[in-house]
Structure 1
Amino acid sequence: MLPLRTLLLCLCLCALTLPASAHGPTPQKVEESVEIAAPPAKVWDIVKDFGKISDWSPAVTKSEGSGGNASGATRMITLKSGGDLQEGLDYYSDKEMTYLYRLSKEKIDVLPVSSYTAELTVKTGDRGGSLVTWVGRFYRADTGNEPAPDKNDAAAIKAMKAFITEGLQGLKAKAEAK
């Protein structure tokens, strides 16, 4: 009876550890900030309209919003690199000078991520101006175990970092223009 009991114990342990060998992608995060020599109210006035990202981000050539700044609002953006993305607004606070939004529909040929959420926040900076922080959380385009190089974590991080950084630099240039 001992060998049968040992065999059953081994089978149970194998069954419990089998899921550990199957894994998928891990969530990724890009967080970028920029100090801007302008008051937070001025910077917020530039970015606060969710539907008008093309007014300040050089990465976006066109943006059309629907629903204003209310939760559930949407925007369609056309990227400078080509292609359109649809995003939805989840949270907006004029008082806190922040909003959170997400990718509404995956388009891995436009941006090598399968999903993302992002948050843009304007605060008073350490040097008296503004500190703008933009955080993106996302999964790579190919959520399988062995993604192609253009759809892996590194490609997703590179694309999101480039998009966010270019947007922050465009915002800085616009806010600091005389």
Structure 2
Amino acid sequence: MLVNVKKSSVINAPIERVWEKIRDFNSLPDWYPSVIDSHIENGEPSNKIGCIRSFNREDGLTIREQLQRIDDQEHICTYSLLEPDKPMEDYVCTIRLLQITDGNRTYIEWLADFKCLPEEEPKLGENLEKVFQVGFDALKKIFSS
């Protein structure tokens, strides 16, 4: 079963500042809680399509993701999860920013597409929404100071 999860929020900062914070594919430790370190494998640039980031979380899990798309005009970053945990397959995520001119704020959405068994969808979708919200809350905190 193909599943689509979408979560969105508004960050009280100009799009250029938010994009600068998240566009570096290796910057997760700088803004996402629970990520303790990250590196791009094989010493490749963090904006090279196909590069792989490997990062460690506080819970001891190591995750590897591959950059699929980075678009500075459209403010879009797409990546896939390598070696996803079962029961997910073909996991692809996109973070997209849009300028909100009223107040010079940023609309941010985080989308995930993946395949899973129908009975797994509710739990996996709920977990991803929580993951995305943690990222939004962290960005809001960074830009509120």
TM-score bin, normalised by smaller chain: 0.7 to 0.9
Q: For the Cα contact (< 8 Å) 1:52–1:65, is it kept in 2?
A: no
% identical equivalent positions: 23
- Is structure 2 residue 54 aligned with structure 1 residue 54? no
Alignment of 1:1-178 (within 5 A): 26-66=1-41, 67=44, 68-108=46-86, 113-125=88-100, 127-128=102-103, 129-140=105-116, 143=117, 152-177=120-145
Q: Please, what TM-score do these two structures have when normalized by structure 1? A: 0.71
DSSP-derived class of the 2:16 partner: helix
Which residue matches 1:8? none
Distance (whole Å) between structure 2 residues aligned to residue 170 and residue 116 of structure 1: 23
- The Cα offsets for residues 19-40 of structure 1, whole Å up to 9 and x where unpaired, read as xxxxxxx111111111111110
> Residue type of the partner of 1:89?
L
Q: How far, CA to CA, are the matches of 1:122 and 1:63 in structure 2?
A: 23
SS at structure 2 position matched to 1:50:
coil
Q: Please give the alpha-carbon distance, in whole angstroms, between the structure 2 residues aligned to 1:135 and 1:126.
A: 23
Give the superposition deviation at 1:84: 1.4
Q: 1:54 to 1:163 in 2, by over 3 A?
A: same
CA distance in 2, matches of 1:46, 1:134: 15
Q: Which runs of 4+ in 1 moved over 6 A?
A: none
Any gaps of 5 or more consecutive residues in structure 1? Answer: 1-25
Asked if the contact 1:77/1:85 (under 8 Å) is kept, the reply is: yes
The letter of the residue matching 2:124 is A
Deviation at 1:59, TM superposition (A): 4.0
User: CA RMSD of the aligned region, Å?
Assistant: 1.9
User: What TM-score do the two structures reach when normalised by structure 2?
Assistant: 0.86
When Rg is computed on C-alpha atoms for both structures, the one with the higher figure is 1
Higher strand share: 2
Give the structure, 1 or 2, with the largest relative contact order (CA under 8 Å, sep 6 or more).
Answer: 2
Q: Deviations over 1:80-133 (max 9, x none)?
A: 44411110001111222111110111234xxx5333101111211263311111
- Distance in 2 separating the partners of 1:106 and 1:77: 14
Q: Is the 8 A contact 1:59 1:167 kept in 2?
A: no
Which structure 2 residue ranges, 5 or more long, are not aligned? Answer: none
